[in-house]
Amino acid sequence: MSAISLYARLTPGYEQRVAETVALLQEAAARHPGRIVFTTSLGAEDMVLAELIARHRLPIALATLQTGQLHAETLALLPQLQALYGLTVEQWHPQAEAVLHFTRSHGELPMRQSIELRKACCALRKLEPLARALAGRSAWVTGLRREQSDARAELPFSSIDAEGREKLNPLAAWSLADVWHHIHTHGVPYNPLHDQFYPSIGCAPCTRAVAVGEDFRAGRWWWEQESAKECGLHVPRKRNEETA
Ligand code: SF4
């Protein structure tokens, strides 16, 4: 059974949510000329945003964190974005020396040994490359949605992050049904793992399929308590954060 047949549904307000998303992206691109980047995980939501950016010719750069642990199915989306939409996605890799040192010290699957080592791996493979990807940018765009988890229930459309950049979440109000309806009606390419019950896809060692009735994020770091399950990319730092 495909993800489209499972989730795609036209619900009231969809067209308006699309229009508001495009308007928010257009305004943000105008406010941050040449300094705005969409950090895509290549998940379903992010493929929707890529399609909107391409269709409306929005001057927003695309970047992804190439952790070295992504599924082949995820990486295969990069040439598809180029071929279908003419979108080039910058790939940000972790520092090779640091990865070598980390795996030599802790083995191939350090994330299974402790939460601290899992967070250290995320810091090495995601947070440090993200900092480089955002250097020189004044705004970044994500595909986060409020529905995705309790921690994201209050997600604003726009906020200021700890470094003073504007962080935009234009899909904050979208439902899963909206995402898949958009993918279906616009023929947006997506990761085939979504058709194998992977609703949320990250690095291969830290992602599994979910069972019927399991939570959307249950397949991420499934050996940890729910409260620990964030990689740090989208954890707000309250001290400086404000909602716009
Ligand atoms: S998701 Fe897993 S493999 Fe990827 S950076 Fe985090 S701990 Fe490492």
Domains, the chain, in order of start with CATH, read 3-193 (3.40.50.620)
Say what the pLDDT of residue 244 is. 30
pLDDT below 70 — which residues of the chain? 226-231, 235-244
Q: What contacts 56, CB < 8 A, 6 or more positions away? A: 22, 25, 26
Q: Separation of 67 CA from ligand 1 center, angstroms?
A: 8
Say what the pLDDT of residue 239 is. 35
Atom 6 of ligand 1, nearest CA residue:
122
Q: Separation of 179 CA from ligand 1 center, angstroms?
A: 25
For 221, the token pair is 């770091």
Say what the pLDDT of residue 240 is. 35
Provide the annotated active-site residues.
Answer: 231
Q: Is 206 in the pocket of ligand 1 (CB under 6 A)?
A: yes
Q: Is 181 in the pocket of ligand 1 (CB under 6 A)?
A: no
User: 217 and 207 in contact (C-beta within 8 Å)?
Assistant: no
Say what the pLDDT of residue 216 is. 74
Name the CA radius of gyration of the chain, rounded: 17
**Whole-number Å distance between alpha carbons of 32 and 140:** 10
Atom 3 of ligand 1, nearest CA residue:
203
For the stretch 91-143, pLDDT in tens is 999 999 999 999 999 988 899 899 999 999 999 999 999 999 999 999 999 99
**Whole-number Å distance between alpha carbons of 94 and 86:** 26
Pocket test for ligand 1, best of 121, 200, 223, 233 (most atoms within 8 A of CB): 121
